């Protein structure tokens, strides 16, 4: 029996969470993290937040781009001039360049981004147009109204 790993799709999409949660439950798949670690959170019925751990990166080192249904977050540290007399004995804080892409569902828009305590927060919101929203249809009385027209004699 062949199994399919939907984890890459689940980790890089926003707004499709119900579908991928169902697929994960059916397949029993676990998601794995890669660099940089991140969370996708639902903050409201139509609101989401992507939080990326970007320790050591400043605002000038990060770029966020939203194009069509894709969100791209890039990080690249600016080269630091070597300080005189400083020798790094162990470097455990990763500073390598990265590019993380997220596929967004239809009508999901980026509302803002902030950098706090080494975490980049990108707020998203799904705004469904009025024409696409479900609407209630009123039921008229038990008999339909018939409009009579007079024929010219």
- Which of 3.40.50.150, 2.60.40.790, 3.60.15.10, 3.10.20.880 is the CATH number of 7-79+94-131? 2.60.40.790
Express each pLDDT in 127-140 by its tens digit.
Answer: 888 887 788 888 88
d(CA 85, CA 87): 7
Tell me, letter by letter, the H, E, C secondary structure of the chain.
Answer: CCCCCCHHHHHCEECCHHHHHHHHHHHCCCCCCCCCCEEEEEEECCEEEEEEECCCCCHHHEEEEEECCEEEEEECCCCCCCCCCCCCCCCCCCCCCEEEEEEECCCEEEEEEEEECCEEEEEEEECCCHHHCCCCCCCCCCCCCCCCCCCCC
Express each pLDDT in 87-120 by its tens digit.
Answer: 878 878 777 889 999 999 888 999 999 999 999 9
41-45: average pLDDT: 91
Look over the chain and give the mean of its residue pLDDT values, rounded to a whole number. 79
Domain residues of the chain, as ranges? Answer: 7-79+94-131
């Amino acid at each position: 029996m062949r199994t399919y790993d939907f984890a890459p799709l689940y980790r890089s999409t926003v707004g499709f969470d119900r579908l991928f949660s169902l697929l994960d439950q059916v397949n029993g798949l676990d998601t794995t993290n890669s660099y940089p670690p991140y969370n996708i959170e639902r903050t409201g019925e139509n609101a989401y937040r992507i939080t990326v751990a970007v320790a050591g990166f400043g605002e000038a080192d990060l770029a966020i781009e939203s194009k069509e249904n894709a969100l791209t977050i890039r990080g690249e540290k600016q080269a630091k001039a070597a300080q005189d007399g400083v020798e790094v004995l162990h470097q455990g804080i990763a500073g390598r360049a990265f590019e993380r892409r997220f596929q967004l569902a239809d009508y999901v828009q980026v509302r803002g981004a902030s950098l706090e305590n080494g975490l980049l927060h990108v707020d998203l919101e799904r705004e469904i147009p009025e024409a696409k929203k479900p609407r209630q249809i009123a039921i008229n009385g038990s008999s339909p109204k018939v409009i009579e027209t007079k024929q010219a004699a």
